[in-house]
């Protein structure tokens, strides 16, 4: 489903050039659960932001669902991102004055799908928060807030879920619950790409890619694919979304603000 070849990305911090990605190539198939590991400054979060269509490489090719995307316009890229991928970050990015249900509804509003509001409640029920639907973030634990963030990332039924240090702000109990939830989503056919610096977190994934100094130093299978996973037809899905983006390239860019919140330096992780 995803294939990148010879990606390079350099950030300029004042007069200093920092090579975040150096000749990175990899493939990720539908239904995989991939952990990208590495220390701070390894380029793992930069890679995730490029894969998640939040950033562009300086050079190289990025193909998703059989379509090259690195040269799409900003509007086409936003359209594809909002309908193809979901994001879960270390910081929950929940709006404090809104309930769990209202937070999960936001992507539907931005995508013009408010008629599907019942999907938000269904996603909250799937992450075991049916009794917290009308609670605000300050009325929930860290683990519950992250489950709201997971539900929000799923409400548009994305093909791929990207999780950047999703358990970094959680205690061990809530960490295990969130990781088990991600495993369950993968067993149901969702493709997951998770960034972490913790080996015990990466152990939940079925494939572990390790980065250092902007390059991939290892790519290993952690455990075999479970039987019975049903994965969507990514090629036809991407083709349909891209065709629609040509007819209707407008729309509000949900979660683009998150991309802008990251400085170039903070992306190099």
**In the chain, where the domains are located:** 2-267
Fold topology of 2-267: Rossmann fold (3.40.50)
Q: How far is CA 244 from the centre of its chain?
A: 22
CA dihedral 157, 163, 168, 172 (to 10 degrees): 60
Contact 123, 151 (CB under 8 A): yes
> What's the pLDDT tens digit per position in 114-139?
666 788 999 999 999 999 999 999 99
Instruction: Please state, as a whole number, how many other Cβ atoms lie within 10 Å of the Cβ of residue 143.
Output: 19
> What's the pLDDT tens digit per position in 202-217?
999 999 999 999 999 9
Q: What is the mean pLDDT of residues 54-76?
A: 89
Q: What is the pLDDT of residue 251?
A: 47
Q: What is the pLDDT of residue 260?
A: 42
Q: What is the mean pLDDT of residues 173-187?
A: 91
Q: What is the pLDDT of residue 82?
A: 81
Q: Which of 77, 67, 70, 74 is nearest to 8 (CA)?
A: 70
Q: What is the pLDDT of residue 268?
A: 43
What is the Cα Rg of the chain in Å?
Answer: 18
Contact 209, 34 (CB under 8 A): yes
Give the integer Cα–Cα distance in Å for 246 and 101. 32
Contact 186, 33 (CB under 8 A): yes
Q: What share of the chain is helix, strand, coil (3-state, %, to 5)?
A: 40, 25, 35
Asked if the model's pLDDT at residue 148 lies above 50, the reply is yes
Element (H, E) at 268: none
Distance spanning both ends of the chain, measured CA to CA: 25
Sole residue written with tokens 């950030």: 11
Q: Which two tokens mark 61?
A: 């090719």
Give the integer Cα–Cα distance in Å for 181 and 188. 11
Q: What is the pLDDT of residue 205?
A: 95
Q: Are strands 67-68 and 59-64 parallel, antiparallel or unpaired?
A: antiparallel
Instruction: Please list the residues that pair with 62 across neighbouring strands.
Output: 4
Instruction: Please state, as a whole number, how many other Cβ atoms lie within 10 Å of the Cβ of residue 265.
Output: 13
Q: How far is CA 106 from the centre of its chain?
A: 17
Q: What is the pLDDT of residue 168?
A: 87
């Amino acid at each position: 489903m995803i294939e990148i070849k010879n990606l390079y990305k350099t950030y300029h911090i004042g007069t200093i050039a920092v090579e975040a990605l150096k000749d990175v190539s990899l493939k990720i198939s539908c239904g995989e659960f991939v952990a990208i590991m590495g220390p701070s400054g390894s380029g793992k979060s930069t890679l995730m932001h490029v894969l998640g269509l939040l950033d562009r490489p300086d050079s190289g090719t990025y193909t998703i669902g059989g379509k090259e995307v690195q040269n799409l316009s900003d509007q086409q890229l936003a359209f594809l991102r909002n309908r193809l991928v979901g994001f879960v970050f270390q910081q929950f990015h929940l709006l404090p004055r809104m309930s769990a249900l209202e937070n999960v509804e936001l992507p539907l509003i931005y995508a013009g799908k408010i008629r599907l509001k019942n999907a938000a409640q269904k996603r909250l029920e799937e992450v075991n928060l049916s009794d917290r639907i009308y609670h605000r973030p300050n009325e929930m634990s860290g683990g519950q807030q992250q489950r709201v963030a997971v539900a929000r990332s799923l409400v548009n039924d994305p093909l791929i879920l990207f999780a950047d240090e999703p358990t970094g702000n959680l205690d061990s109990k809530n960490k295990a619950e969130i990781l088990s939830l991600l495993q369950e989503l993968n067993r149901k056919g969702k493709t997951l790409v998770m960034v972490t610096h913790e080996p015990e977190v990466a152990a939940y994934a079925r494939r572990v890619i390790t980065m250092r100094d902007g390059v991939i130093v290892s790519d290993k299978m952690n455990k075999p694919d479970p039987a019975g996973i049903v994965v969507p037809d990514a090629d036809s899905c991407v083709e349909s979304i891209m065709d629609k983006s040509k007819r209707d390239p407008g729309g509000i860019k949900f979660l683009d603000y998150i991309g802008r919140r990251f400085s170039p330096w903070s992306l190099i992780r």
